[in-house]
Amino acid sequence: MASLTTEGVRRVASLQKEDGRYFLMTLLNMDFDEDRDLKPGILLDYLYNAIMFAVQKGFPWPNVVLVARFSEELLEETMGITITEAIGMLKKKCDQYQYTMKPKQFKLLVNYFLETFFKHYRLYQFVLLEVREIDQTIHNLEVYVPQKPLALKDGTEADVWIYQKRISELNETENQLQAEMLFLRQTSQLESE
């Protein structure tokens, strides 16, 4: 987490979500395939969401970096322990960080973690700690995009299009009947000879 700077988090916050996540991934020197390995992606989302929370609540940029550090340390130190022990760990973290930001901001931060991280604590534990067998099938599909539609001025109205379609269907039916009539005439001529 030492690689995060105020400029880095400012840039992450200024980008759209996907671009911001990607930039955060490069700042943290994380390199992974999100389709094959979900754990780093979940960790990245966890950190990105904590950073964006601090930005949206108007934390000063140095405090946004502290929020990211706090988030990562809390996650690392609570892995594999019960929720009761994890809340005790949160209290210790609060004692460590309480004078690094304004009390109102610190209260917002603690409430954020209680409402997000601790609300889904067991899920985080399961996803980040359990070893799962990956059973994926990956297919490469060729995608054919539709042709560029005509300009509206070159198009036809719905009623006219329906009429033209009906005419073409009638023409097909007429051609089919004429072919059948020709076939019947030829077979009757062959029979009469």
The per-residue pLDDT for 31 is 77
Pair 178, 97 in one domain: no
DSSP single-letter state for residue 130: S
Q: Does 69 reside within a domain? A: yes
Q: How far apart are CA 55 and CA 14, in angstroms?
A: 10
Cβ neighbour number for residue 53 with a 10 Å cutoff: 18
Q: Does 1 reside within a domain? A: no
Q: Does 11 reside within a domain? A: yes
At 177, list the tokens: 């009947």
Q: For the whole model, what pTM was predicted? A: 0.66
- At residue 124 the predicted structure's pLDDT band, cuts being 50, 70 and 90, is confident
Q: Does 142 reside within a domain? A: no
Q: Domain tally for the chain?
A: 2
Pair 71, 119 in one domain: yes
Q: How far apart are CA 20 and CA 12, in angstroms?
A: 5
- At residue 180 the predicted structure's pLDDT band, cuts being 50, 70 and 90, is very high
Report which listed range, 36-40, 157-161, 173-177, 188-192, is most confident: 173-177
Sign of the dihedral through C-alpha 83, 89, 91, 93? negative
Pair 109, 61 in one domain: yes
- In single-letter form, the type of residue at position 28 comes to L
pLDDT at 26 over 60: yes
pLDDT at 53 over 60: yes
Pair 34, 114 in one domain: yes
pLDDT at 172 over 60: yes
Contact 51, 140 (CB under 8 A): no
pLDDT at 109 over 80: yes
pLDDT at 90 over 70: yes
- At residue 48 the predicted structure's pLDDT band, cuts being 50, 70 and 90, is very high
pLDDT at 40 over 80: yes
- At residue 179 the predicted structure's pLDDT band, cuts being 50, 70 and 90, is very high
Contact 40, 64 (CB under 8 A): no
- In single-letter form, the type of residue at position 108 comes to L
The range of the structural domain enclosing residue 88 comes to 6-129
